[in-house]
Amino acid sequence: MQASKFNQPLGGNDMPRAGGIATMMRLPMATLSDNIDVGFIGVPFDIGTSNRVGARYGPRQIRAESSLLRPYNMATRAAPFESLQVADLGDCPINTFNLLDSIRIIEEYYDKVADAGVVPLTLGGDHTIVLPILRALRKKHAQPIGVVHIDAHADVNDEMFGEKIAHGTPFRRALEENLIDPHRMVQIGLRGTGYSAEDFDWCRAQGIRVVQAEECWHKSLAPLMDEVRAMMGDGPVYISYDIDGLDPAFAPGTGTPEVGGLTVQQGLEIVRGCKGLNIIGGDLVEVSPPYDSTGNTSLLGANLLFEMLCVLPGVKYA
């Protein structure tokens, strides 16, 4: 049999899943000069958090749990490793002691990723990191980006403790900077207590489609995703997935858990419903391994990143 020209995850019969180097899905490591189509990138950053810390360890633990994944999607029949060159690009450096300098470093790193034509799938890290990533991708694509945002929180605070950049503010900054097209943005799973109705109504006033978690209870989200695909059209789309969008019964290892969230099945339906969109990148953020005693949150994060890979343009289906 002819060897595949595409990188393949290391199989469980070649090396026990407890062994080998802990790359994402046990893929080869690569650099931006290696002609890669899709790169898994870690951003070990959590100095933008306001509650429980630990998301800086998210990339490492997601990679470790991803050793359980296999290359073919049995549900959707997607075979991403037969159609795209995928690799683990390692971690983006940050300045552990300076949030704003870290934002600069991340943006400059993702500028290089975008210039190399690599689609980034990011392992967070807290949600602050989406701002510099969107800045880089906006420059590359020269138009505001559509966003599918799964989260318990809208992340549109004007400030937190007087700071304009933190994990609760990135989407307000992104809207102010014209990085996002608000009429091509949907926020799914928002819920919990707040300070006023403005917490979610501000988003609606900008033209964002807000789908609170209560609207999702006891139903499939496939019909919703039909609407989302129509909303997004042919323009560039970014998926930003905060693990706390899912109920803490399924994903307890996160910094700001909120009860009454999405189920795992709904979480999968959202990503699978993005098939056919012009997806230019995605992230999975806010996994905090110190609060993930079983590893299930990290495993769920790894699966969601794999599902994002499976819906990228160019993926073949068996």
Q: What is the pLDDT of residues 67-102, one digit of tens each?
A: 999 999 999 999 999 999 999 999 999 999 999 999
CATH number at residue 167: 3.40.800.10
Does a structural domain hold residue 118? Answer: yes
Asked if residue 11 belongs to a domain, the reply is no
Residues of the chain predicted below pLDDT 70: 1-3
- 130 within a domain of the structure (yes/no): yes
Looking at residue 31, its pLDDT comes to: 96
Predicted pLDDT of residue 1: 37
Cis? peptide before 189, omega within 30° of 0: no
Amino acid at position 64, single letter: A
Residues 6+ apart with CB under 8 A from 151: 127, 187, 188, 189, 190, 240, 241, 242, 244, 245
| Residue 244 in marked binding region | yes
For residue 174, being part of any structural domain is answered with: yes
Q: Is residue 6 part of a domain?
A: no
| The pLDDT of residue 4 | 72
Opening angle at CA 35, ends 20 and 149, nearest 5: 80
Looking at the domain assignment, is residue 3 inside a domain? no
Q: How far from each other are the two terminal CA atoms of the chain, in whole angstroms?
A: 18
Distance CA 153, CA 175 (A): 16
Residue 242 assigned ligand-binding role: yes
Whether 83 is covered by a domain: the verdict is yes
Number of domains composing the chain: 1
19 in a structural domain: no
- Is residue 199 a known part of a binding site? no
For residue 46, the enclosing domain spans 37-317
